[in-house]
Chain A
Amino acid sequence: MEDLLTNVDWTEIGWASWDTLVMVGLSLLFSVLIGLPIGVLLFLTGKRQLLEQPMAYAVLSFVVNILRSVPFIILLIVMIPVTVMIIGTSLGVAGAIPPLVAGGAPFFARLVETALREVDRGIIEATQAMGASVRQIITGALLPEALPGIIAGITVTAITLVSYAAMSGVVGGGGLGDLAIRFGYQRFQTDVMVITVALLVIFVQLLQMAGDRLVLYFSRR
């Protein structure tokens, strides 16, 4: 065992894992905070919906699509000046968060829109018939009814962010991806590469399991 993993510095791995956790955790938090309202707006302004607004929908949808169609590795580079403006640096864990959110939030917004569309129109109609305001329909009926779908969306977004976070190692983002590139790739330390990949796989599996359990718990259908 010792011979097999000669290059592996476990303290380093520990810190890198922690960095990845922080990056994914914080960027997920901001992606949800920003993506959820955008997703709700996308849904509401869509065709035959409560606040149908073809122009607003087209603009919003266009911005979301642009952010989603730029490959993340490019987004990482394009975002550098913006990141420096917001955080002060484009390096390290903190510097990775703005591009991660820029990639994660529009992704999550689309998933929210889809989840809301799955809600039976009859339920919206019934809530309207009770005299609910649009805000009440969103908070009282739409979001609770779409909760399982939204949680599934959070899970998928979290997993996407794990892989994005690993990619951010390329531009000096820190975390397991950074470790894999600096040691596993640039110094040909295959054992480090294997360990970081294994850790990422385990991380993703754990996220998926937790997400599935939550979805099951909140599904009352």
Chain B
Amino acid sequence: MIEFDQIQKSFQVGGRAIPALHPTSMTIETGEVFGIVGHSGAGKSTLVRLINLLERPSGGRILIDGEDVTGYDAGELRAFRRKVGMIFQHFNLLSSKTVTDNIAFPMKLAGIYSAAEIHARVEELLARVGLTDHARKYPSQLSGGQKQRVGIARALACRPTILLCDEATSALDPQTTQSVLRLLGDINRELGLTIVLITHEMDVVRRVCDRVAVMDAGEVVEMGSVTDVFLHPKHPTTRDFVFESEHIDQKEMQQDLGRAQGRILRLTFRGESTYKPLLGRVARESGVDFSILSGRIDHIKETPYGQLTLSLIGGDLDLAMTALETADVHVEVVR
């Protein structure tokens, strides 16, 4: 469990303290995949670097499994960092070392593993990330996705309990992003590893995260389960991120809605209700006519969801809304 207790960070620029992170308190549970979304400069990079103290906080405490890590001395800090793996946007592999040596590097630095242990662990990790055939290559001979797999294997070498991902898929193409995210999901499930992932893409959050915090200008502006935040964003920044990930142009949408007649509802289906043939039945029973203005069916992690924007004319509107709500559909009146 990672607890931020009134943690804050400011940087000294020309004698003035510029706040990068306003006092923030939150808790990341053990074993969850926690996403932090924000534009560049929102403070998410600072927040994640505070966890392994690559950045020293200007105030507040960070408790890892109940222990304040901000007071660690140099030796304790090094031992602690071994238990926190980290992967990076630009991979940060050592170009002078082979794939094998890159993965072995943190174990060698730790100085507590025998050569045989290191060898066995590297073999195991290479197989885990599917790079056994590339063991003797240098990073420059690998593709972006392969480099990030080496990065993941390296981060896992010392069997950490926390994995920090700093924009880990931002330099990758969509297909590679998907396979790297799948790998992260597998690792989280199989090893029970806590993953803290920062990104500027809501889509990444939707695919792997359990909970998410949205950051804007050094503050966490919204936090909750990914389904709640994604399906019912409240803060304007969150809305921007969600709409952006769904390729929705907010202006266009407003115009479309302006042209529609009658009542406009946004229906959100979650889980099993996504697949139920509901709309026709409700329309028959309540006598309303509907037309679909926009719609989408997708998954949040493994949970299917659907979101439909409808305009409704005539019939018994209240009856229709009650019928939808009893069928576990979240109904939101847009107009």
Contact = CB atoms under 8 A, between A and B. Distances in A.
Nearest to A141: B94
B106 A221 contact: no
Interface in B123-153: 138-140
A129 B79 contact: no
A125 interface: yes
A147 B86 contact: no
A130 B105 contact: yes
Interface string B82-117: 101010101011111100000001101110000000
Interface string A138-175: 00110011010000000000000000000000000000
A183 B308 CA distance: 97
Contacts of A120: 90, 92
A218 interface: yes
A123 interface: yes
Contact of A129 (B84, B95, B97, B139): B84
A201 B231 CA distance: 74
Contacts, number: 66
Given A129-B81, A220-B95, A122 B109 contact: no
Interface in B15-66: 52, 54
A164 to B, nearest CB: 31
Given A120-B92, A145-B96, A125 B109 contact: no
B52 to A, nearest CB: 6
Interface in B232-264: none
Q: Classify chain B's interface size.
A: 20 to 34
A49 interface: no
B79 A131 contact: yes
Interface in A199-221: 218, 220-221
Interface in A117-132: 120, 122-123, 125-132
Nearest to B82: A131
A65 interface: no
B78 interface: yes
B92 A136 contact: no
B94 A122 contact: no
B80 interface: yes
Contacts of B84: 129
Contact of B95 (A125, A130, A131, A145): A145
A147 B92 contact: no
Contact of B88 (A126, A131, A140, A221): A126
Contact of A131 (B78, B96, B140, B154): B78
A129 B138 contact: no
A12 B52 CA distance: 66
A141 B138 CA distance: 15
B40 to A, nearest CB: 16
Contacts of A220: 95-96, 138-140
Contacts of B95: 145, 220-221
Contacts of B81: 128-131
B94 A145 contact: yes
A11 interface: no
Contacts of A133: 74, 78
A128 B105 CA distance: 12
Nearest to B83: A131
B163 to A, nearest CB: 11
Interface of B: 52, 54, 74, 77-82, 84, 86, 88, 90, 92-97, 105-106, 108-110, 138-140, 154, 158, 164
Interface of A: 120, 122-123, 125-133, 136, 140-141, 144-145, 147, 218, 220-221
Given A122-B90, A127-B105, A131-B77, 16 more contacts: A120-B90, A123-B92, A123-B94, A129-B84, A130-B82, A130-B105, A130-B158, A131-B78, A131-B110, A136-B109, A140-B108, A141-B94, A144-B94, A144-B97, A221-B95, A221-B140
